[in-house]
Amino acid sequence: MAQWARPAIRALRLWGPGGELAWARRPRFAGARPPTCLSAGVASVFGNGGDRTQELFLQDVAELIRAKACQRVVVMVGAGISTPSGIPDFRSPGTGFYSSFQHCDVPYPEAIFELTFFLHNPRPFFTWAKKMYPGNYRPNVIHYFLRLLQDKGLLLRLYTQNIDGLERAAGIPDSRLVEAHGSFASATCTVCGRAAPVEGFWAEVMGDRVPRCAVCTGVVKPDIVFFGEALPQRFLLHVVDFPSADLLLILGTSLQVEPFASLSEAVRSSVPRVFMNQEAAGSLAWRPRSRDVLQLGELVDSVDKLVELLGWTEELKDLVQRETGQLSGRDR
């Protein structure tokens, strides 16, 4: 068989006949995979009418991408992709942001993201916001892996729960990015609804002052989504993105916050879902599909493994070196 044809044949076998495959009864954890014979005939590639379930492993997903069987990749990410940049997540006991609020003037940690409490006492929020000042943190190799997906024309859309702006800093264009929980890139008065200059907003925050509107003196709030607020209009892109995706990557999220978490169910059941996280979570833990791949452990290691299987290791290194040099240059 010609060398170029093997990935394509492999991809056909992995996709199956195009029908909906049976649900798995247990999670498909990544690990050692059995040897696969690539010389099987067409009957064994597509099945012979029996109800067979094809397990997937990370190598299988890499081969699907390399064979161009997956060219509309949707990505969901959470706080876990930013922890290698030094940003704590929210929920980790002892190290997460919520743990750091236990001795602050808040009734409970989540209160700083509730609009009623914010309007009553905005200072705890702005104390936290000061830590998130753009430039305090930089994108890491995970962000640049996502950028590489974009550069290769594979990224249909990146849905992020993060408000740190590191996806933007890594070079993901606005057209491919959905910041589901908003961002610090803009700010609005909570009273008159006027947009506020971002530079002035940050000047106040960094000076330990509560930003106020120059017109009505109302408190200015960054355009991040607080609990109970509506998600940005752009979030509605999921209605068309997820049904048309041919691969879903879920990285570094505990899948606990709705409606973001439910997006993991929105792709067709025949579409592979790759979940990379410290531990299994959401429906991928309690109701896995037959084409799920759970790659558990350190997220950077998991991404490095996929990059290696894709043959992109040197490209990613070059991109990181080039971009981090540009970021350093802008800081001088």
254 labelled ligand-binding:
yes
d(CA 41, CA 44): 6
Active site residue 181: yes
d(CA 238, CA 178): 9
Which value, to the nearest 10 degrees, does the dihedral of the CA atoms of residues 172, 176, 181, 183 take? 40
d(CA 73, CA 226): 28
Which pair of structure tokens corresponds to residue 132? 């998130």
Ordered DSSP codes for 121-140: --HHHHHHHHHT-TTSS---
List, edge to edge, every strand of the sheet that includes 182-189.
Answer: 195-196, 182-189, 220-224
Q: Are 80 and 89 in contact (CB under 8 A)?
A: yes
253 labelled ligand-binding:
yes
What is the Cβ-side half-sphere exposure of residue 315, based on CA atoms within 13 angstroms? 14
277 labelled ligand-binding:
yes
226 labelled ligand-binding:
no
Beta-strand runs (E) in the chain: 73-77, 155-160, 177-179, 182-189, 195-196, 220-224, 247-251, 273-277, 292-296
83 labelled ligand-binding:
yes
37 labelled ligand-binding:
no
80 labelled ligand-binding:
yes
Query: Which residue of the set 103, 143, 181, 238 is catalytic?
Result: 181
163 labelled ligand-binding:
yes
168 labelled ligand-binding:
no
97 labelled ligand-binding:
no
192 labelled ligand-binding:
yes
11 labelled ligand-binding:
no
189 labelled ligand-binding:
yes
87 labelled ligand-binding:
no
d(CA 202, CA 234): 25
d(CA 300, CA 97): 21
Known binding residues for NAD(+) are 79-83, 89-91, 161-164, 253-254, 277-279
Known binding residues for Zn(2+) are 189, 192, 213, 216
Known binding residues are 79-83, 89-91, 161-164, 189, 192, 213, 216, 253-254, 277-279
Q: Which residues are catalytic?
A: 181
